[in-house]
């Protein structure tokens, strides 16, 4: 480590000699989904009271983040904490704040870590508190990409909102109430764009969705899959504007957004703007101290990083995906849960001189909006075939897609599937059965997966 940095760290500690240093055997930095599932696994593995701390800049115990873009915003049947603390998203026990107390796990909330020195196993908070650890689990997740990051004109106007944490969702709820029957522009056509467009329409807001790509969810959907959702949303009153981007905003006398300027010259009225243009992993605390790859912190199949006693899980981890023999980073709640559990099992096994199986993850993505619900498993590479009825006006709206590479089915998507059918497409993506006749595959549809 450079001498300058060592002396700077020393100064920090000299300045804070009056503050008590807190020491723990295990520290999880970050308070999202991964932190909650890691805590549950630590508890299962017999962590002793006082050994584990979770340090989170959020003011609430870990919760299931997907609820924020769905039921949190519903006009009826609204979700609120403590209803969706982890681990209800996987059908497990709900970990209320009291659960952590009962297990002797210290939940250190509203505390942002601003310095991490991995060599001295020390973390420093914005308030100057010092935390020491023996084993660190990095679960810092992602942060949203903001239009102000790119200097977009007027992007700092009021009512231009983002959605990542519960505070963001609360702001959105307030604005929806304040702008009853108002106009919203959703910037972005991915997960956030689709789920929030649905939620805002359910609140009787006039919605336009703007994105630069030729169709929605381009990282996953084929043109055929996207055609269904675009048609369905249009039937629900969502106006879809493709092939252009927001390049500026104008505000009224109160500083609230009133117009969105598009690159193609159009101007849209807006009382609310919600931006969902992606996220980036929060790795800046550890820059230069740990090996990185593909935008994340590089780990092995047990989520160990290049630094001894430091693990990284969830959105920030770039790990070996055994199924495809590739290094990947995955931003999804399912991986956030499972990687956290794997890391904790690996930590405890290492202490006991035991071994565990390598992480063998099957990519899984899902979404729910309006009365739609889709699931996808595997890899969306190779040739795609569509089966079923993808007419947006159809009363059944049940259809799917298979991806075929090197004569094998490597990915499967299903809208409107039963739990059994969703299990069947997961099995297909894992087993990768050979397929000779694509016409027959289209004809068999979900039946092909159900017989594997």
pLDDT at 13 over 70: no
Indicate whether 309 and 265 sit together in one domain: no
Indicate whether 88 and 9 sit together in one domain: yes
In tens, the pLDDT along 203-229 reads 999 999 999 999 999 999 999 999 999
pLDDT (0 to 100) of residue 215: 98
Indicate whether 18 and 102 sit together in one domain: yes
Contacts of residues 308-311 at CB distance under 8 Å and 24 or more positions apart, as own/partner, are 309/121, 309/134, 309/135, 309/136, 310/118, 310/135, 310/136, 310/138, 311/135, 311/136, 311/137, 311/138, 311/343, 311/346, 311/347
Indicate whether 28 and 138 sit together in one domain: yes
Indicate whether 138 and 13 sit together in one domain: yes
357 located within any domain: no
Indicate whether 35 and 104 sit together in one domain: yes
Q: Which of 277, 295, 329 is the last residue of a domain?
A: 277
In tens, the pLDDT along 113-164 reads 999 999 999 999 999 999 999 999 999 999 999 999 999 999 999 999 999 9
Residue 181 CB coordination number (10 Å): 9
Residue 133, beta-bridge partner list: 24
pLDDT at 338 over 70: yes
Distances (CA, A) of 94 to 36, 60, 97, 367: 10, 14, 10, 22
Sign of CA dihedral 190, 70, 164, 288: negative
Q: What is the CATH number of the domain that holds 139?
A: 3.50.50.60
Indicate whether 12 and 23 sit together in one domain: yes
Distances (CA, A) of 178 to 98, 195, 207, 255, 379: 34, 21, 16, 15, 42
How far apart are the C-alpha atoms of 36 and 159, rounded to whole Å?
Answer: 31
Q: Which of 277, 303, 337 is the last residue of a domain?
A: 277
Indicate whether 10 and 102 sit together in one domain: yes
The whole model's pTM is what? 0.94
Indicate whether 129 and 57 sit together in one domain: yes
190 located within any domain: yes
pLDDT (0 to 100) of residue 395: 86
267 located within any domain: yes
pLDDT (0 to 100) of residue 17: 47
Total count of domains within the chain? 3
364 located within any domain: no
Mean residue pLDDT of the chain comes to 95
Q: What is the CATH number of the domain that holds 389?
A: 3.30.390.30
Q: What mean pLDDT is predicted for residues 93-109?
A: 98
Indicate whether 152 and 139 sit together in one domain: no
Position 1 confidence tier, pLDDT thresholds 50, 70, 90: very low
| Domain range for 393 | 371-450
């Amino acid at each position: 480590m450079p001498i300058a940095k060592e002396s700077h760290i020393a100064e920090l500690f000299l300045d804070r000699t009056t503050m008590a240093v807190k020491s723990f055997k295990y520290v999880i930095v970050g308070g999202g989904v991964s932190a909650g599932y890691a805590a549950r696994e630590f508890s299962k593995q017999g962590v002793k009271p006082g050994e584990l701390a979770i340090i989170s800049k959020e003011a609430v115990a870990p919760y299931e983040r997907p609820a924020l873009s769905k039921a949190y915003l519903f006009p009826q049947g609204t979700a609120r904490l403590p209803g969706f603390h982890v681990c209800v998203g996987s059908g497990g026990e709900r970990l209320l704040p009291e659960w952590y107390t009962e297990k002797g796990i210290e939940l250190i909330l509203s505390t942002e870590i601003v310095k991490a020195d991995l060599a001295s196993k020390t973390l420093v908070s914005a308030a100057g508190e010092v935390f020491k650890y023996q084993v660190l689990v990095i679960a810092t997740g992602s942060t949203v990409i903001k239009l102000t990051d790119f200097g977009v004109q007027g992007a700092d106007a009021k009512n231009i909102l983002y959605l990542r944490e519960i505070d963001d969702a609360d702001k959105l709820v307030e604005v929806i109430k304040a702008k009853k029957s108002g106009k919203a522009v959703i910037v972005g056509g991915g997960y956030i764009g689709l789920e929030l467009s649905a939620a805002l329409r359910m609140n009787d807001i006039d919605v336009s969705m703007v994105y630069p790509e030729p169709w929605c969810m381009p990282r996953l959907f084929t043109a055929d899959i996207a055609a269904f959702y675009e048609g369905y949303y249009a039937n629900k009153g969502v106006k879809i504007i493709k092939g252009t981007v927001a390049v500026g905003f104008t505000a009224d006398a109160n500083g609230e957004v009133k117009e969105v300027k598009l690159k193609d010259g159009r101007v849209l009225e807006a009382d609310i703007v919600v931006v969902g243009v992606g996220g980036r992993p929060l790795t800046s605390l550890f820059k230069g101290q740990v090996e990185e790859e593909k935008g994340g912190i590089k780990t092995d199949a047990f989520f160990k990083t290049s630094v001894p006693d430091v693990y990284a899980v969830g959105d920030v981890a770039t790990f070996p995906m055994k199924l495809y023999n590739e290094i990947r980073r995955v931003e999804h709640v399912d991986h956030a849960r499972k990687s956290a559990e794997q890391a904790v099992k690996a930590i405890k096994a290492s202490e006991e001189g035991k071994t565990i199986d390598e992480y063998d993850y099957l990519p899984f993505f899902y979404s729910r909006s309006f009365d739609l619900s889709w699931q996808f498993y595997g890899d969306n590479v190779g040739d795609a075939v569509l089966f079923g009825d993808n007419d947006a006006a159809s009363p059944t709206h049940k259809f799917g897609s298979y991806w075929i590479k090197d004569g094998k089915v490597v990915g499967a998507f299903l809208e409107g599937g039963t739990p059994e059918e969703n299990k069947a497409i997961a099995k297909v993506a894992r087993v990768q059965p050979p397929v000779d006749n694509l016409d027959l595959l289209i004809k068999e549809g979900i039946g092909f997966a159900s017989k594997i």
